[in-house]
Amino acid sequence: MAPLDDPAGPRALTPASCERVYATAVDAICLSARRGIATTYRATLLNRDFVATAELPLTGIPSRARLSPDGSLATTTTFVFGDSYANPGQFSTRTVVSRTTGSTLGDIEKFALLVDGREIGAADKNMWGVTFADDDRFYATAASGGKTWLVEGSLNRRTVTAIRGDVECPSLSPDGTRIAFKKHGDLPAGQWRLAVLDLTTGEETVLTETRSVDDQAEWLDDRTVLYGLSRQAAGTASSDVWQVPADGTGTPRILVPDAWSPAVIRVPEGTTP
């Protein structure tokens, strides 16, 4: 962990070791791998001291993890076939939403997918990259027939409805007005650009990061988007967390060196951090 007023400075190490992590002021979720002759994967809930308190269902290779703003809901996305989002139709995902108290609310790929008023029931339907608005409403990516959409879902109604095409790995801004996402456009397979969608006006802003970003972005605040990028140098497996203005201006710069899977812990007003 690093303080927001000195993100490149000294760090506090937690007991958790994760492939993917997300945290709120209440709890955290950790997707981990134990590698050996047979690799096994776990989804673990952590308390405020980052000590494991419970396990959640997990099948496949860890990809994405999120918690709802109040820490009451958790979601995981795993690859159960394939290991990359580069080619829609050539992978299969499983995205499960659970209460952090233990009950499972369901695999959202089994929810009804509506595109232009028509339900899509194709066998190649996949969904991934959930971001929560509240304890019922969420956004995610849906894919079928080589196309991807930003979908708005309801846990209570068990439906997801497409609202825009070419949107992957959405992340809702703290004020709930915009979605940061990666888009493929006409780029080569496995290449994406970061963009921000205004949910009220429908205006899309492509950000100034020109490198391909394969990550579910996080918001530092309502003005700044965070994302992980692997270093391009040969012989290194290191990565850094970068920041870029959400309005399409400015220059990307490193926020936290030697880091990955950013999560900004926001403390609700009137509570003790």
Average model confidence (pLDDT) across the chain: 90
Residue ranges making up the domain that contains 182: 79-256
First to last CA, the chain: 14
Has residue 128 been placed in a domain? Answer: yes
Asked if pLDDT for residue 272 goes beyond 90, the answer is no
Q: Summarize pLDDT for 215-244 with one digit per residue, the tens.
A: 999 999 999 999 999 987 666 668 999 999
The mean per-residue pLDDT over the stretch 20-37 comes to 89
What pLDDT is stored for residue 37 in this prediction?
76
* CA separation, residue 239 to residues 14, 193, 231, 258 (Å): 19, 18, 5, 5
Residues 68-124 have pLDDT tens digits of 999 999 999 988 755 455 555 555 788 999 999 888 999 999 999 999 999 998 788
- Cβ distance 81 to 91 under 8 Å? yes
| Position 267 in a domain | no
Is 104 within the bounds of a domain? yes
Strand order in the sheet with 73-81: 61-67, 73-81, 92-99, 104-107
pTM across the whole model? 0.91
CATH code assigned at 93? 2.120.10.30
Q: Is 111 inside a domain boundary?
A: yes
What pLDDT was estimated at residue 58? Answer: 83
Tally of domains in the chain? 1
Asked, for residue 205, whether it belongs to a domain, the answer is yes
Q: Tell me, yes or no, whether 61 lies in a domain.
A: no
